[in-house]
Structure 1
Amino acid sequence: MTVRIGGAGGAQWGSHIASIHLRTDCVRLSADVRAGADERTIRQDKAAIVETRRDIATFRRSGLVDITV
């Protein structure tokens, strides 16, 4: 079996993977907030969300990806 990520469908795979990362980042932020994590950890979680959001916008060739945290 061969799995190829690239070519015409590569952007779709990239967008899908970025969406999974975004979901993971949001869950991590939510868990850290509930656990009373320090401000540094919260800032890192938020930065990860912003970075992943940029990745999604790049793959979708869109300037706007709306995420409410």
Structure 2
Amino acid sequence: MKNIEIYEQPIALYQLLKLEALVSSGGEAKAVIDDSRVLVNGAVETRRRKKVMSGDVIEFEDQQFKVVLK
């Protein structure tokens, strides 16, 4: 599991995907969230602006990422 470091919390889910370059644009981030391809703490998340906090686990494309506050 890879760590994603954020400098302030909360951060919107779509912004986190874009920040970590898991998608190429904000529009693509919103599309993959709308398509139920992103899990937050083991549950499918369809809210684009879901507030992600330190300690949350994001799953996308068979990869897991733990969010940590820097």
What TM-score do you get using the length of structure 1 for normalisation?
0.23
Of Structure 1 and Structure 2, the greater helix share is in 1
Of Structure 1 and Structure 2, the greater strand share is in 2
What TM-score do you get using the length of structure 2 for normalisation?
0.23
Task: Please tell me whether Structure 1 or Structure 2 has the larger radius of gyration of its CA atoms.
Answer: 1
